[in-house]
Amino acid sequence: MILKNKAQSGLGHRGRPQSKDTETAFGKNPTSKFASSVMWALLVVVPLAVLLFMGARYWEHQKLDGDPPPMAKEYEKTAPPVAWHGLQPEQIADKYLAATTQEERLRWVRQPAAVAESMERYYRDGPGASEKVADLQKMPPGSTDDQVFERFAVTMTDGSKRLLCVPFDESGGGVDFKSYARQCSDPWSAVLDGTVAKASEMRVFLQRGNYYNHEFADERQWLCLIATSPELENPIHLYARRDNPDLALFLKNPPNQPQRYTIALENPGQGHRNRQWQLTRVITAGWVTP
């Protein structure tokens, strides 16, 4: 059983002491009280406004500090009660995380034949070769139109986090390895350098953006989204065509805060040079595909 553990700055301001000697307080030229107030207001308000503007632009277009919140809410319905048979989800999660060989892990995953090859690479050459689990915490269950699943927050010894999901199955269920590994159809390096023109299954956090430029300058035609991932050093911009019937449901309520989605994207010409791609499909809300 995995051990269970629990895991502002402010800007002070000291008012400048008032002085009857305005020459001492503000320089050699006498200044009226009203002019002094205006001067101090300009000295404080203008730089603050500039800093706030620059900070907002930096956040939007450069880099989001730290990983996206791994426990961000997803567009999921409240999970209905289900009757699990055999081992409970917590036991399945524990046994999967405690496994040390490929054979052992395959016993506790969903669709083992489909993920066997990618799971072997993950634990041999990928993050799984060095990651060590420090903590496992149960989250509220989730559901979509297609399935119900239990969710767990897995914290590694280096502080990084992963989402572990156990979709319900009448025979008992198993760990969804693709969502756990944040598996994508194509490596992000190939997407970023333009080698891949179309990527059919990418797991990201999405939230609304406000950057319309280059091929996507027309806000009436496109909806801007910011996509992030722990695998991406910096965010990228995705653009959903507003008249795309396949995105109609998503476009009714795009997320204002980072939320998990499994998507397909396409590189329009040289869009990758500006870190811009077209969002062509939303496969599902969350990272557990049907």
How many angstroms separate the first and last alpha carbons of the chain? 29
| Same domain (yes/no): 162, 212 | no
Do the Cβ atoms of 199 and 48 come closer than 8 Å?
no
231: burial class by Cβ within 10 Å (0-12, 13-18, 19+)? middle
| Same domain (yes/no): 162, 216 | no
| Same domain (yes/no): 204, 243 | yes
Asked whether residue 132 is domain-assigned, the answer is: yes
Asked whether residue 169 is domain-assigned, the answer is: yes
Is pLDDT larger for residue 82 or for residue 226? 226
pLDDT in tens, 88-97: 999 999 999 9
pLDDT band at 85 (very low <50, low <70, confident <90, very high): confident
Asked whether residue 72 is domain-assigned, the answer is: no
Asked whether residue 36 is domain-assigned, the answer is: no
What's the pLDDT score for residue 83? Answer: 75
Query: What average pLDDT does the segment 91-115 reach?
Result: 96
**Which of 140, 161, 180 is the last residue in one of the domains?**
180
Q: 3-state SS of 184-243?
A: CCCCHHHHHCCCCCEEEEEEEEEEECCCCCHHHCCCCCEEEEEEECCCCCCCEEEEEECC
Tell me the percentage of the chain whose pLDDT exceeds 70: 71
Q: Which domain holds residue 249?
A: 188-285
What's the pLDDT score for residue 31? Answer: 45
**Which of 117, 152, 180 is the last residue in one of the domains?**
180
| Same domain (yes/no): 219, 153 | no
What are the C-alpha distances in Å from 187 to residues 14, 67, 193, 206, 227? 52, 18, 10, 18, 15
| Same domain (yes/no): 212, 196 | yes
CATH code for position 99: 3.10.450
| Same domain (yes/no): 119, 214 | no
CATH code for position 222: 2.40.50
| Residue 267 half-sphere exposure toward CB, CA atoms < 13 A | 19
Asked whether residue 10 is domain-assigned, the answer is: no
Asked whether residue 145 is domain-assigned, the answer is: yes
| Same domain (yes/no): 229, 275 | yes
Identify the top-confidence range among 38-47, 60-69, 170-179.
Answer: 170-179
| Same domain (yes/no): 167, 193 | no
pLDDT in tens, 193-237: 999 999 999 999 999 999 999 999 999 999 999 999 999 999 999
Asked whether residue 120 is domain-assigned, the answer is: yes
What's the pLDDT score for residue 47? Answer: 58
What's the pLDDT score for residue 134? Answer: 97
| Same domain (yes/no): 171, 201 | no
**Which of 149, 180, 211 is the last residue in one of the domains?**
180
| Same domain (yes/no): 81, 176 | yes
| Structural domains counted in the chain | 2
| Same domain (yes/no): 129, 153 | yes
Asked whether residue 2 is domain-assigned, the answer is: no
Query: What average pLDDT does the segment 144-160 reach?
Result: 91
| In the block, residue with structure tokens 């939230």 | 207
| Same domain (yes/no): 123, 200 | no
